[in-house]
Amino acid sequence: MAAAAEILVLGGLLNLVFSFVMGLVLAQQRKQGDKAVPIEKLRWLLSSHNVSMLEGFMCISLGFAVQFADLSIAVSKAAAWLVVLSSIFQDCQGIVNHVRSIDDQFKQKSLGWIFGIVQALGAFPGLLMIVVGVFRGRA
**What is the mean predicted confidence (pLDDT) over 7-36?**
93
pLDDT at 110: 94
Exposed/middle/buried for 93, CB within 10 Å: 0-12, 13-18, 19+? buried
User: Which range is least confidently modeled, 19-33, 70-84, 113-127?
Assistant: 19-33
The full length of the chain comes to 139
pLDDT at 48: 96
Measured between alpha carbons, how far is residue 103 from residues 5, 49, 136 in Å?
37, 18, 44
- The whole domain housing 120 covers 3-138
pLDDT at 81: 98
**What is the mean predicted confidence (pLDDT) over 62-76?**
96
List Cβ<8 Å contacts ≥24 apart for 78-81. Answer: 78/126, 78/129, 79/4, 79/125, 79/126, 79/127, 79/129, 79/130, 79/133, 80/3, 80/4, 80/5, 80/7, 80/8, 80/11, 80/126, 80/130, 81/7, 81/126
pLDDT-based confidence at 34, cuts 50/70/90?
A: confident
Is the pLDDT at 123 greater than 80? The verdict is yes
How far the first Cα of the chain sits from its last, in Å, is: 22
pLDDT-based confidence at 1, cuts 50/70/90?
A: low
pTM: 0.91
Query: What is the tally of structural domains in the chain?
Result: 1
